[in-house]
Amino acid sequence: MAGSVPEIQIQVNSKKGGNSIHPVEPARTSAGGGPPVVYREIKHFKKWFPWLIPSFVIANVVTFLVTMYVNNCPHNSVSCVAGFLGRFSFQPFSENPLLGPSSNTLEKMGALDVNKVVHEHEGWRLITCMWLHGGVFHLLANMLSLIVIGIRLEREFGFVRIGLLYIIAGLGGSLFSALFIKSNISVGASGALFGLLGSMLSELIINWTIYANKLTVLVTLVVIIVINLAVGILPHVDNFAHIGGFMSGFLLGFVFLIRPQFGWVSQRYASSAYSSTSAKPKFKLYQMVLWVISLILLIIGFTGGLVMLLRGVDLNDHCSWCHYMSCVPTSRWSCNTEPVSCMNLGWGCKFELHFPIRSCSLSKQITS
C-alpha cells in the first residue's frame, strides 16, 4: 500500500478518572483513496459492578451476630454490657473491652488456635478465623477498611481475582501468624485486608506504564503501608498476621492483577497494515518475569509454611529478634501476655486473644 502507515496516538486516563483509551484522530482516509479508516473508542479496562466485597462485609456482620447469639452473655456471666440486648449483650469490659463475646465462644466458633490446628487436625481454623472479630470496635475498623479498599479493587479487576486474592492473602496471614504465635488465639480479617493493600503496591509496579503520576501514587501507598505496619508493633496486636497477609497479597498482585501493555491493546483496533508492521507482545518482559518469580515464591512459601506448621515448628526458636516485628517493648508498655485494657488501634488490626500461659483454664481474657 502506498503512503505511510497511519500512526495511532492514544490518550490514557488515570485510574482516578475514566478508564477508556480514546484515539486522538477518529478517522482517516486511506492512501489508496478507499473508504476512511475509522478507529473506534477503545474500552479495554472493563468496570465491574462490585458485589463480592459488600457480600464479604455482610458475611462478617452476620457471623458476628451469630457469634453473639452463641455467646449468650446472660447465661455465662454475672454482669453484661448493654443487658437490654438479651443474649446479644456483650461480655464485661474487664473481660472484653471491644464490646464482644468471650474468648471461649470465639474459640468455639473457629478462632485460630495453633494447638488445635497441629494436634487436633483442625486446619480449617486458618480460614474461619478471618471471619470472626473480637468485638464491635474490631468489626467496624476492619469492615470500613474493607469497603474503602476492596470495592475499588473489585471494580477495577472483578470479583474472581479480588475474591481469590482476599482469601489466599488471609490464609497467608493466618499461616505466618501460626508459625510465631503459639500460646494465643487470634481472630480478624486484617491479614486479608493487608493482602489487598499489598496487592495495590504490586499492581502499581507491574502496571507501571499506565499510571500518569507514578511517583506520587507510589509514595502515598508506601506511607500508608508503613504507618499501618508500624501500628502492629504495639502490644497485643497480631502484626505477624499483618505481615504475612501483606507479603502474600504483594506477590498475588503480580500474579492476578497484571494488565496488557497499551501497544498490544491499540493494535487490536488498528488497521491491518498498522498491526502487521508494528505487532507488539501482550505483556512486557519485566511483567512476565515478575509474574513467574511471584508464582514460584508463593508456591514455595505456602508449601513450606504448611509443612513447618504441621510439624510444630516455632520460628521464634530460629529467629531471636523476630518477636520485635509484632511488639517492641518500651518504658510505656510491656509485650507480655498479661490481660490489659484494650484499645482500638485503627486500620485493620488483628487482635490476639490471650490464654493464661500457666494453665488451660476456661477463664480466658480477651485483649487487643
What does the alpha-carbon distance between residue 342 and residue 313 come to, in Å, rounded to a whole number? 30
Amino acid at 211: Y
Nearest to 187, CA basis, from 129, 233, 126: 129
Phi, psi angles (nearest 5°) of residue 42: -90, 120
Nearest to 192, CA basis, from 155, 225, 163: 163
DSSP 185: E
Nearest to 177, CA basis, from 238, 135, 234, 122: 238
CB 188 within 8 A of CB 176: no
Amino acid at 252: L
Angle of helix 214-231 relative to helix 239-256, nearest 10 degrees, comes to: 150
What does the alpha-carbon distance between residue 143 and residue 287 come to, in Å, rounded to a whole number? 32
Residues with a known catalytic role: 190, 242
